[in-house]
Each structure stands twice: as C-alpha cells, then as structure tokens.
Amino acid sequence: MDTASDVTAKDAKPRIVPNYDGKALRLSAEHTLDPAVYPDLADHAGDTLIVTDGSTLLGADDKAGVAEILTALKHLIAHPEKAHGPLEVFFTPDEETGKGMNLFPLKNVRSSACYTLDGGKLGEIEAECFTAYSAKLTFKGYVIHIGSARGKLANATAMAASFVSLLPRAESPEATDGWYGYYCPIEIKGTLESASVEVFLRDFTDEGMSRRIETVKALAKAVEAQFPGGSVEADIQKQYVNMRKKLDERPEVLERLVQACKDVGISPVIKPIRGGTDGARLTEMGIPTPNIFTGGYNYHSRHEWASVAEMVMTTRTILRLIRLWAD
C-alpha cells in the first residue's frame, strides 16, 4: 500500500530475529545491521526484530502500519464488549509517489478526524510536515554536428547539468535536518536537443517555499543566459502543504493522541515530518490527520528493520485512542 520504489521490494525475504543480542546482525554476506552505524539498534537488545536479507526493502514502511491497524481491528472484533464509536479505516495506494489521495472518496467519509500509521520510532508523533512542490525543468538545445559546433551548439544535457550544479549544496537533503528545507534533484535525463530535470522543493513555511520557487526560476534564467540558442521552461506544481495550521484549529485531535500515548506508558515526542504523508493531504482537505509511530527504522533502505515490541505498543496506542474518542 505504501512501499518505496527507491530500492526494490519484490520477493522480499523477511526474517524474525527473537531476543536480539544487541550486536552487529548479519543479514547476508554483503549486508550487516550494525549498532555502530545505526545507533537505534543498541536500544533494542532483547527485543524481537523483523529484518530482511539486504537484497530488498523490508517494506516496514508501511506494512508495519497496515499490520498494526488490522491487529487493532481484530482485537475489537474479538472483544465486542469494549466500547468504541464509529470507526473508518482507509488504505491508500501510491503514497510514496504523492498520488495516494488523488482518487480518495472524500464525499463518503464521515470521520471528523483521522490518524495515519506511517511514522517511525516509538513515541514520535508528527503533527507538522513540509510544504512540498515539484519543479520540472525542460531544457531545449540547438543541435549541430559537434565537429562544427563552435558558436552554434546549445547542449541541452549540459544545460540540465549546469542547472543541477547551481542548486545550493548547503540546502540539500544530506546537508539539512530539523526545520530546514531543501532542493533535491530527483531525476535528470536528456540528449543534445532536449533534457529534463525534476527537483523536489521542501520547506516548512510559505515564505521559505516562495523563496525556493523564485530561486528555481532565477537559476533557469541563469542557465538560459549561459547557453545562447537554448531555452528553459519551468513547470512548478504543488504536491502538499504543511498540516500544522489545520491541526492547530482542532487541538483536541493531537491532545487525545498525546493522552493515549501517556495512558499506555509511552512518552510522546512531537516532531516534524521531513517528508509528507497522505494524512497531510487529507488534513488539507479538511480532516485533521496527524501521524503516529509504527516501530519501523531505516525506511527506504536495504537495512530497514522493525521492532515487534514497538509495533505492539503502537497497537495498544491505537486501541486507547479509539476509547478516548468513544469517551
């Protein structure tokens, strides 16, 4: 329902590791999970882990969330004496491509609040996300035989490469964290005549996003000036917006989630999502939807793993949250 395409998840071979000893865990001859590299592992000695062999994603993002939702529902069905109000459950495909809500049947939804199960570490609640835009740059060159190109050729591939090189390195995903946004080139392709670059723009504020959009347009003009005879077009599209403002209008949605965590013995930590969820788009549609931890780690990586103990606590949190809404 929500498995990344960064690394293949086809034919994943999940493995259960009971009573993890806290040491480096060999996944295969080529891949090892080592606490020296992934410090969160050190906190899970004695836990049961779910891993893969490193040849694929595990897919805990977001199979863990699906498993927790279904486990909570199974428990409620098995215990009809436990009070709860009306519940709606939604599974959306293509979340990782940003298309998960494109065909969402909003007119059929009765819920006044929702929660996504798409987070990570135990206790982490995400009530704020990036505002996200995608910029598609199209570079048109002028082609002539490269042996007689002096003063005539406008190389579209070189134009695309020049554009990417101008993006601020200090504002890339690998150079930022917390509330700092970024520019991230996702794909570059082309020929002498035509090339394209897709860039993800991310920021937590409207002002920051406006600056990024204007920067992309200015860099496109700069590249155009560098390559006489060539041209650049920028198509900039909104993907989703920061859900913070909408959630602030309905404080009880987040308050009940925080209380549910405390009631089952979890210390909640509210943090921003350095990304987005279908919940962000649902929030924009008018239904506030914060994001709940699932107990998965190293998402979008061959070294992805999940904690069974944390998945159990997530399910308990869901059940307590359902009861708080019933009360």
- Would you name the residues annotated as active-site residues? 2, 95
β-partners of residue 182 are 202
Which residue is listed with tokens 């498995």? 3
Query: In terms of DSSP H, where are the helices of 79-170?
Result: 156-166
How far apart, in whole angstroms, are the C-alpha atoms of residue 307 and residue 19? Answer: 11
Query: CA end-to-end span of the chain, whole Å?
Result: 31
Q: Residue 189 carries which DSSP code? A: E
Query: In terms of DSSP H, where are the helices of 227-307?
Result: 244-248, 251-263, 278-284
**CB-based burial label for 74 (10 Å; 0-12, 13-18, 19+):** exposed
Radius of gyration (Cα) for the chain, nearest Å? 23
How far apart, in whole angstroms, are the C-alpha atoms of residue 244 and residue 212? Answer: 20
Upstream peptide bond of 62 is cis (omega within 30 degrees of 0): yes
Which of 170, 186, 178, 326 shows the shortest CA–CA distance to 256? 326
Please write down the long-range contacts of 204-208, taking CB distance under 8 Å and 24 or more positions apart. 204/128, 204/130, 204/131, 204/179, 204/242, 204/244, 204/272, 205/131, 205/242, 206/131, 208/181
Query: In terms of DSSP H, where are the helices of the chain?
Result: 60-78, 156-166, 206-226, 244-248, 251-263, 278-284, 308-326
